[in-house]
Amino acid sequence: MRLQALLLSIAFIACSSSSGGSHASDAGADVEGADGADGSSGSSGGSGSGGDDSGGGSGSSGGSMLPDSSMPPCNLTLQGALSEAFPCTVTLEYFTSSNRTAFTISVADPRPLQLISITLQRTGRTMSGTWTNTDPMASGSVIVQGPADDAGFPEWQATSGSQDGGSQSQYDLQLMVGVGKPNPTGETFGSTGTFTATLVPQVSTGATGNLMLHVSF
């Protein structure tokens, strides 16, 4: 009986020891798994942070202001009785006191011609649209003087309602108003568009033949 009891005791101890080792191994695996999970999480966190930094670095820069499109080159050409081409300057201004808009095309040096003058006015505030010599709210004149000859300076004109020898002169302004800038008398504007005119000869000056004028600005 003692021997049997002793053998049973030894068997119980052996089983307990084996079970304890298994639990210890499982516990170790659990701890290792937890550490691995933490490490993976840390790595993932580092990658996420890197992604945030990369996203921040890819932000678009602010766009610069576009240049004023209402200030292009101005070119004037003449065909017909005269054939010439010149650079020019456009001025567009609103005068508050008279409630009128003035449009001017200037040629600083029209040589060999004597003069090129284009001045138009229209009642009301400055706005995009069409001006013609038949517009009741618009007035103005287009004058070209050629090189001097024995009779003086031959001259061609197109004015509001003008007529010479049964040939009606005419002009047409297609105007697109740009950016305005206040001044002491009102406001000045940039502009784009085209101006065309048919000028008739002033017979008294010795001029002959019609003159076609075209301006792009």
pLDDT at position 192 is 95
Report helix, strand and coil shares of the chain as percent, to nearest 5.
Answer: 25, 40, 30
Residue-level pLDDT at 140: 93
Residues of the chain with pLDDT under 50: 1-7, 10-70, 163-166
Whole-number pLDDT of residue 150:
75
What is the per-residue pLDDT for 210?
Answer: 95
How far apart are alpha carbons 86 and 74 in whole angstroms?
A: 9
Helix, strand, or coil (residue 184): coil
Other Cβ atoms within 10 Å of 141 Cβ, number: 18
Residue 16 has a pLDDT of 47
Q: How many residues does the chain have?
A: 217
CB of 161 closer than 8 Å to CB of 141? no
List C-alpha distances in Å: 16 to 4, 7, 13, 24, 71.
19, 14, 5, 12, 98
* pTM (predicted TM-score): 0.65
* Contact present, 83 and 114 (Cβ < 8 Å): no
User: Do you find a cis peptide bond into 112, omega within 30 degrees of 0?
Assistant: yes
